Amino acid sequence: MPIHSTAIVDPRASIHPEADIGPYCILQGEVVIGARTRLMAHAFLEGPLTVGEDNTFFPYCSIGAAPQDMKYKGERSETRIGNGNRIREFVTIHRGTEGGGLVTSLGDGNLLLAYVHVAHDCALGSHNILSNGATLAGHVVVGDWVVLGGLSAVHQFCRVGSHSIVGGGSIVTQDVAPYSMTVAPREAKLFGVNKVGLQRRGFSGDAINALHRTFRLLGSKTLNTSQALEKIRAEVPQTAEVAEVIGFIERSTRGVIK
């Protein structure tokens, strides 16, 4: 497979003949690329970095750059990536520091979705899925077959045990037990009708008032959802907007925020 004519490859890099280096990729320093690994386009890889076989790097990822650690003084450190990993758009992985063993590492078969960040000195096992925007601070250890939900964040020095799943939006400040389902407290509340937005879009005062009454009943602490819907049907003018709210709630399979 070719090295595209627009790619910039450092003379110190070592690229397997079966690797594919796409347009506008930059390989800087001591970068080793294994067989059948593909850099699609606009990827930035900085060594010391060792990448195994059958990996795919999607556009605009940045792999092996210097850590975001104030203690880092330019000491030689590295990044190691195994086989069969998929690194999606805008993922950032930083190399290690002296305080963490000088290595950031990924095993095999991991999927890192867009905007994932893996900080210095992290050690990921194999077959993990890090969903969009998941963030690992420095020195985090992740086992095998872990799922980190989107926008979750793991505090430095924490461990995430194998076969666990962390719910999206969770802030993890202690170790996650193996085989567990873990989620941080999340509360979303209904605060009423979007009055200003509806006024700007020309909804009538009667329509807005009917919605206001609808949401007051829906948010009542003395009524469950079914009881609230009964009262809405009985006490609120059945405008098109109210009917849409009722139908939306009745079709819900996950419940509605109240």
Phi and psi based region of residue 216 (left: phi greater than 0; alpha: psi -120 to 50; beta: remaining): alpha
Closest C-alpha to 108, from 63, 65, 148, 54: 54
Number of other residues whose CB lies within 10 A of the CB of residue 2: 10
| DSSP state at residue 132 | T
**Which phi and psi angles does 9 have, rounded to 5°?**
-120, 120
CA distances from 36 to 1, 54, 136, 196, 220 (A): 8, 5, 28, 55, 59
CB neighbourhood size of 225 (10 A): 14
**Whether 120 is catalytic:** yes
Considering the candidates 82, 100, 121, 125, report the single residue annotated as catalytic: 121
Q: Which of 125, 138, 143, 149 is catalytic?
A: 138
**16 is a catalytic site residue:** no
204 three-class SS: coil
Set 117, 120, 127, 139: catalytic member: 120
Sheet holding 171-172, edge to edge: 8-9, 26-28, 44-46, 62-65, 92-94, 117-118, 135-136, 153-154, 171-172
- Euclidean distance between CA atoms 256 and 154, whole angstroms: 29
Name the one residue in this structure whose structure tokens are 């210095």.
120
- Which residues are catalytically annotated? 120-121, 138
